[in-house]
Amino acid sequence: MDKYGILSRSNLDNQPTAMEAEMLRILKRIDFKSVLKKLAVLAGFMVLIMTVGHCMAKRSINKEWEEKVSKKRTPEEVRGLLDSIVKHRRMNVPAFVPQNMWHREMCAAAIVNAVNFFLGEERLKMSAAWNFYQANKEQLELVYKRTEDFKIVGNQIIETYDRPFYLSEILKSDGEKRNLTSNRLYVIGYHYHETRSDESIIRSLNNGGTMNSHLMLVLGRYDGFWWGYHMLHHVKQPKAVPFRIDNLSGMMPQWFDAMYIWEVKNTDLPAKWSGARVALVHHTPDYEQITSLLGWGGRNKFGFFLDSVLTYFFGSTGEQFPRVVDLRVPVVSTGPTESLKNRRGDIVGFYKGVAVVRNGGTSQRGTFGLEYECVEFINRFLYSLGHKNLTQMGNADSYFHDARGKGLFPYKNGSAAPPQPDDIIVFDKDGLGGTPGHAAVVTTVDMGRVCMIQQNTDVTEQCLPLAYKQGGWHVGSFTKDLPCVGWSRRRQ
């Protein structure tokens, strides 16, 4: 107050409001030391969880690698793996990279791991594509280079001359000219046509890096064409797998420019088809789901640490690396885990080297019929035996009712001749034809049962009762509504 007992403006301004006074009373009651201790404990707990997740992720990756790559492979085994990846390219393109490395420059991890996987030893070191040669100089020999056809413009590497080249003129090879097959492992360093920025690559040039942004593994030449394995980024199609096997014959595909070819030293391989009869089977994790978990910590060491934690705790349950399946065994089951059982396109088994593929989606016409209906597998199996391709030849029931038109001989259920391995066993609702029905391939027969392998069903391998009565052999029903109508056999 002033000397007259009146409140001055300055005194009024210094008086706290009711809300301010309440806030002051609350702040006085807070024990800031206790709060800081609790936050420190919480932060420590989070660091512990992340560290445990990172260690468990590394342990999981190492364990799977050790299970699937137990020893150094022979040249015949390496050739067999290369043969397999080309032969089954339409159904199963494997990944060779852990979930936490499926991002940006670490696409090179797919190639580094693929080479190491094929050889059965960790020969190549991990690096970005533009540091691949620098990191692995002792293991690589440069056999082709065309960097003179490129120049740096701002933050981009631009091709100034589109020079065609042919792998058959560059690579060491064996075999006849038509099926010239590389007898070494080769890696191509290439560059995307439409890249927007090459800043990381340009910075690396001063430290011994190369100009390529991506890597590709040369698989060899099959049926007159060269094939290469690599990984793409930013796949737009839903549920698409980013790993690809492309035709490299003649001029390279238009969407990338080859810059270098390196030979992986000491990889002498036999000629085509002299390798082991094996297949690579891989139930690939969901790329869309994984990429949503990556990159939150940047492209540094902490970023990859965080990637491994997030993908371990929240990633899908697909396999990190493919399995090697011995195709010398007639019947092989390769079914995925329960959580992946509906993934379309997974190989779930083999019979005499022919893959059984999971449908789990809308069928579309392919080389051997509607993919992947039961008769599509039948057609591929018969074709592998030298039979004609039976595409567009009718539903499953027609493999009995119209067997002769397909070059097959039908035996009615109850015939004196029992089913035998490689027969096509047919199930039909009313026994008259005209309904889709179901068909499978007979794998084994004994006195009490007939076993079969099939596509587009929940059970890949199944056995049904087989009984001899009233002068004939009778096979039990597939389901209550699908009795066996008979079996058909190739005419010799």
Using CA atoms, how far apart are residues 197 and 172, in angstroms rounded to an integer? 35
pLDDT at residue 300, as a whole number: 81
Any idea which fold 348-490 has? endopeptidase fold (from Nostoc punctiforme) (3.90.1720)
**pLDDT tens column, 323-372:** 999 999 999 988 765 555 556 778 889 999 999 998 877 778 888 998 88
DSSP state of 139: G
- Residue 138 pLDDT > 80: yes
Query: How far from each other are the two terminal CA atoms of the chain, in whole angstroms?
Result: 120
Q: Which of 479, 470, 454, 338 is nearest to 399 (CA)?
A: 454
User: Which residue, 467, 479, 456, is CA-closest to 396?
Assistant: 456
Return residue ranges of the chain for CATH 3.90.1720.10. Answer: 348-490
Average pLDDT of the residues in 126-140: 95
d(CA 284, CA 433): 39
Distances (CA, A) of 113 to 95, 321, 477: 9, 9, 47
Separation in Å, CA 256 to CA 159, 189, 225, 242, 432: 10, 10, 18, 16, 56
Tell me the pLDDT of the chain averaged across its residues: 86
Sequence letter at residue 172: K
3 state SS for 323-392: EEEECCCCEEECCCCHHHCCCCCCEEEEECCEEEECCCCCCEEECCEEECCHHHHHHHHHHHCCCCCCCC
Distance CA 309, CA 295 (A): 12
Average pLDDT for 247-272: 83
pLDDT at residue 9 tops 50: no
Q: How confident is the model at residue 5 (pLDDT cuts 50, 70, 90)?
A: very low
Paired with 440 in beta bridges are 425
Is the pLDDT reported for residue 10 higher than 60? no
pLDDT given for residue 4 in this prediction: 42
pLDDT above 90 for 264: yes
What is the sign of the dihedral through the CA atoms of 14, 19, 22 and 26? negative
Structure tokens at 293: 């978990």
Higher pLDDT, 135 or 337: 135
**What span, in angstroms and rounded, lies between the C-alpha atoms of 466 and 83?**
39
pLDDT the model gives residue 359: 84
**Among 15-19, 318-322, 444-448, 479-483, the least confident range:** 15-19
pLDDT band at 163 (very low <50, low <70, confident <90, very high): confident
| Nearest of 249, 263, 257 to residue 166 by alpha carbon | 249
Query: Of all residues in the chain, what percent carry a pLDDT higher than 70?
Result: 90
**Angle at Cα 224 formed by Cα 219 and Cα 229, nearest 5°?**
20
**pLDDT over 70 at 180, yes or no:** no
pLDDT tens, residue by residue, 199-244: 999 999 988 999 999 999 999 888 778 899 999 877 777 677 889 9
Q: CA-to-CA distance for 464 and 440, rounded, in angstroms?
A: 12
Cα-trace Rg, the chain: 31
CA 419/CA 421 separation, integer angstroms: 7
Residue pointed to by tokens 């065609």:
164
What's at 326, amino acid-wise? D
Q: How high is the pLDDT of residue 6? A: 44
Distances (CA, A) of 407 to 142, 436, 487: 53, 20, 13
Q: Is the pLDDT of residue 309 over 80?
A: yes
472: β partners: 469
Is residue 41 over pLDDT 80? yes
The pLDDT of residue 489 is 96
Query: Where is pLDDT greater, at 7 or 21?
Result: 21
The residue among 241 and 173 whose pLDDT is bigger is 241
What's the chain's length in residues? 492
pLDDT over 60 at 12, yes or no? no
Instruction: Identify the residue with better confidence: 41 or 318.
Output: 41
Q: Cβ contacts of residue 290 below 8 Å, gap of 6+? A: 99, 102, 311, 315, 316
Of these ranges, 193-197, 275-279, 358-362, the one predicted with the greatest mean pLDDT is 275-279
Identify the three-state secondary structure at position 246: strand
Q: Which two tokens stand for residue 319?
A: 């396999």
Percentage of the chain exceeding pLDDT 90: 50
Give the model's pLDDT for residue 143.
93
Structure tokens at 446: 């004994």
Higher-confidence residue of 309 and 360: namely: 309
Tell me: pLDDT of 130 over 90: yes
Q: How many CB atoms lie within 10 A of CB 430?
A: 12
The label of the residue with tokens 């540091």 reads 131
**Nearest Cα to Cα of residue 218 among 180, 192, 273, 162:** 180
